[in-house]
């Protein structure tokens, strides 16, 4: 089995810095780059355009965008335009988004399953320049929405998923699935649901590239690796469904309190509530040896793609280098 490795960046830094990290990742042997789409940070497609111009072969795309903040017609336009700059290298990650952050912008998350499904259908129709409109329950377009330019390449669509129904949808219609989890038990469960969705749709489950989209941190020691993940874990806990929290012994009340503190920017309270158990459940972090062992376990669950998500480590440049030189060769050489 070919084991692929991706890396996620949150475009908080200046464009040149994120672009530099991506050049570094490509040279070290990563297979994909995912840039988050969030209104608090720099624009995802401006970031991707810069990165595309300074890389040669690595796949790249939004990871993930959502149809509540960005209409799927606009997402299709963006990835199709990006594909002209990086032909054959563009991928598109899309999901329902994070309820906590959507609420910050006054956006309500309605009918997420149908919304994501219709979005994927519209993006695909737009890319192949379907002449007729789309008549969905959430989205409607007319033939006039058709592009005035052609896209030569297929653009794979990866569906970000966590809940059972969304995971099965990813298996039914996705080119790939981005599992929003880090714990082996959660990922193993997710892989089974993705495969179930594929089989129900009459597809070969092997057609779906299954990626573990993890919160990741690597450093010389476990202690150094754990500190940077605390803010990320706070957001993950706040956005996790009750069944995931309860499964790992985390109370819904604790998660709700963290969610409220994040919404009100009470950072000390929100981050202070993150304990070692939450870190173990919602991240892959540690020394290179520990990370190698944990990733090896995750590949045994059936994933085909491992994505190192933020924060990456206490020092991004050093952590990318550490992963590329001490972790990646273990899998690429075997």
pLDDT for 334: 52
Q: Is residue 238 scored above 80 in pLDDT?
A: yes
pLDDT at 107 over 70: yes
Cis peptide before 185 (omega within 30 of 0): no
Structure tokens at 93: 């990650």
User: Could you give the CA distance from residue 146 to residue 244 in angstroms, rounded to a whole number?
Assistant: 41
Per-residue pLDDT at 151: 87
Looking at residue 55, what is its pLDDT? 98
Give the C-alpha separation, 216 to 283, whole Å. Answer: 6
Q: What is the pLDDT of residue 298?
A: 98
Chain-wide mean pLDDT for the chain?
A: 96
pLDDT at 333: 65
**Percent of the chain, pLDDT > 90?**
93
pLDDT at 90: 98
pLDDT tens digits, residue range 54-67?
999 999 999 999 99
Note the pTM of the prediction, 2 decimals. 0.95
**Per-residue pLDDT at 189 exceeds 90:** yes
Report in angstroms the alpha-carbon separations of 184 from 32, 40, 211, 281, 313: 22, 31, 13, 9, 21
Greatest mean pLDDT among 97-106, 152-161, 238-247 = 152-161
pLDDT in tens, 194-231: 999 999 999 999 999 999 999 999 999 999 999 999 99
Q: CA torsion 296→298→301→302, rounded to 10°?
A: -80
Mean pLDDT of 223-244: 93
pLDDT for 101 equals 83
Read off the pLDDT of residues 141-165 as tens digits, 9 standing for 90 and up.
999 999 999 988 899 999 999 999 9
Question: Which CATH architecture group holds 4-226+283-332?
Answer: Alpha-Beta Barrel (3.20)
DSSP string over 279-331: HHHH-EEESHHHHHHHHHHHHTTT-SEEEEEEEE-SSHHHHHHHIIIIIHHHH
List strand residue ranges (DSSP E) for 17-76, in order. 32-35, 59-62
Q: What is the pLDDT averaged over residues 33-44?
A: 96
The partner residues of 256 in beta bridges, in order of sequence, read none
Per-position b or e across 166-183, b if 16+ CB within 10 A of its CB: bbbbbbbbbbbbbbbbbb
**Residue predicted with more confidence, 171 or 98:** 171
Taking only the tens place, the pLDDT of each residue in 256-301 is 999 999 989 999 999 999 999 999 999 999 999 999 999 999 999 9
Residue 126 has pLDDT above 90, yes or no: yes
The reported pLDDT for the residue numbered 281 is: 97
Kindly report the number of other CB atoms within 10 A of residue 146's CB atom: 16
CA angle 92, 14, 214 (to 5 degrees): 45
Tell me the sheet residues that pair with 9.
35
Residue 241 confidence (pLDDT) above 90: no
* 144-to-20, 73, 133 alpha-carbon distances in Å: 40, 12, 8
């Amino acid at each position: 089995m070919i084991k692929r490795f991706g890396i996620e960046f949150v475009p908080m830094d200046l464009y040149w810095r994120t672009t530099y990290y991506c050049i570094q990742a490509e040279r070290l042997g990563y297979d994909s780059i995912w840039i988050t789409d969030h209104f608090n940070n720099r624009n995802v497609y401006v970031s991707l355009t810069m990165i595309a111009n300074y890389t040669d072969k690595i796949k790249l795309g939004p990871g993930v965008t959502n149809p509540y903040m960005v209409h799927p017609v606009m997402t299709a336009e963006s990835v199709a335009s990006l594909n002209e700059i990086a032909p054959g290298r563009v991928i598109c990650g899309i999901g329902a988004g994070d309820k906590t952050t959507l609420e910050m912008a006054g956006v309500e998350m309605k009918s997420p399953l149908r919304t994501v499904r219709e979005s994927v259908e519209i993006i695909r129709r737009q890319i192949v320049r379907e002449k007729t409109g789309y008549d969905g329950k959430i989205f409607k377009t007319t033939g006039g929405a058709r592009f005035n330019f052609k896209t030569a390449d297929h653009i794979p669509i990866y569906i970000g998923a966590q809940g059972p129904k969304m995971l099965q949808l990813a298996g039914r219609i996705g080119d790939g699935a981005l599992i929003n989890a880090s714990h082996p038990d959660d990922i193993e469960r997710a892989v089974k649901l993705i495969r179930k969705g594929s089989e129900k749709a009459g597809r070969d489950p092997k057609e779906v590239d299954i990626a573990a989209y993890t919160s990741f941190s690597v450093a010389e020691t476990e202690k150094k690796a754990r500190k940077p993940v605390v803010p990320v874990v706070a957001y993950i806990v706040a956005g996790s469904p009750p069944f995931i929290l309860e499964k790992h012994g985390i109370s819904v009340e604790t998660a709700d309190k963290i969610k409220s503190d994040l919404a009100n920017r009470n950072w000390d309270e929100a981050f202070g509530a993150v304990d070692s158990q939450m870190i173990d459940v919602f991240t892959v972090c540690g020394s290179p040896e520990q990370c190698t062992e944990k990733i090896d376990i995750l590949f045994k669950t059936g994933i085909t793609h491992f994505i190192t998500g933020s924060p990456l480590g206490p020092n991004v440049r050093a952590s990318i280098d550490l992963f590329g030189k001490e972790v990646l060769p273990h899998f690429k050489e075997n």
